[in-house]
Amino acid sequence: MLFDSHAHVDDSRFDEDRNEVIKRAAEAGLVGILNAGACMESSARSITLAQEHDMVYAAVGIHPHDAKEAKDHDYEQLAVWSSLAKVVAIGEIGLDYYYDMSPRDVQQQVFVRHIDVARQMGKPIIIHDRDAHGDVMTILKKEAKGLTGVLHCFSGSSEMAKEVIKIGFYVSFAGPVTYAKDGKLKEVAASVPLERILVETDCPYLTPQPYRGRRNEPTHVKFTAEEVARVRGMDFEALAEAATANTKRLFGILG
């Protein structure tokens, strides 16, 4: 009963078999897929997918890569979209200092504007953080008081994970936790309280072992969940049940 808490099934790499990918996920026992927006166009596509497929939910937002393209009226549109029944979060949003595809000050301003929309609409936030741990935490502590959300595809330290949880957020693990070189990430997965763990694919990116190097898809979330369960020394079924319950609780998904 796994829930892929972060996917991009609207990506062009699924254009040839998108419906089959979603059907395959359902047949594999997944109970849900949260498709995250990365720009205004992909946010709109996410909503369409959620409307067309019972198991798909949507998040809307502008990725830090595209922060430089954000317009004032976009935030009004995001607020309108977030009132729709199956739009359950604002995201993915945040900071990316690895690629720096948008100026850092612009990324920060757009991040804060999204947080304002989330507060206005009463929605959790899905945060992208790459090589920007300090600024992400500074902005969350200052601007997101009283809100909740998730650090998706977590890449920080155990100490950072403790801070994330302390301010009321969740930690999500993706394919990299299955990679042999990511010993520190495995340590984080072993230490985070069970009630704060989510699992995801971030497909079509970050394919877990044993399919690394190929296109990722929601069915592969089981490999991430299996590894998280393994490093925690617990049954896969118990981890899957907890992660799915956490996802539904965070995003207000009933049933």
3-state SS assignment for residue 88: strand
Over the chain, what is the mean pLDDT?
A: 98
Query: What pLDDT does residue 163 have?
Result: 98
pLDDT at 182: 85
Instruction: Dig out the tokens for 239 from the structure.
Output: 């981890």
Question: Which whole-number Å values give the CA distances from 170 to 27, 115, 129, 154, 230, in the listed order?
Answer: 28, 16, 13, 10, 20
Question: Is residue 39 over pLDDT 90?
Answer: yes
Q: What would the pLDDT profile of 182-220 be if each residue is shown by its tens digit?
A: 899 999 999 999 999 999 999 999 999 999 999 999 999
Taking residues 158-172, report their average pLDDT: 98
Cis peptide bond N-terminal to 193, omega within 30? no
In this prediction, residues 10-26 reach a mean pLDDT of: 98
Region 151-178 average pLDDT: 98
Beta carbons within 8 Å of 122's beta carbon, 6+ residues apart: none
The hierarchical CATH code for the domain 3-251 is 3.20.20.140
User: Which pLDDT does position 255 carry in this prediction?
Assistant: 72
Q: How confident is the model at residue 133 (pLDDT cuts 50, 70, 90)?
A: very high
Percent of the chain's residues with pLDDT above 90: 98
How much is the average pLDDT of 227-240? 98
Predicted confidence (pLDDT) at residue 25 exceeds the cutoff of 80: yes
Backbone torsions φ then ψ of 241, nearest 5 degrees: -65, -45
Q: Count CA atoms within 13 Å of residue 196 on its CB side.
A: 22
Q: Look up the pTM and report it.
A: 0.98
Dist CA 134 CA 182 (whole Å):
21
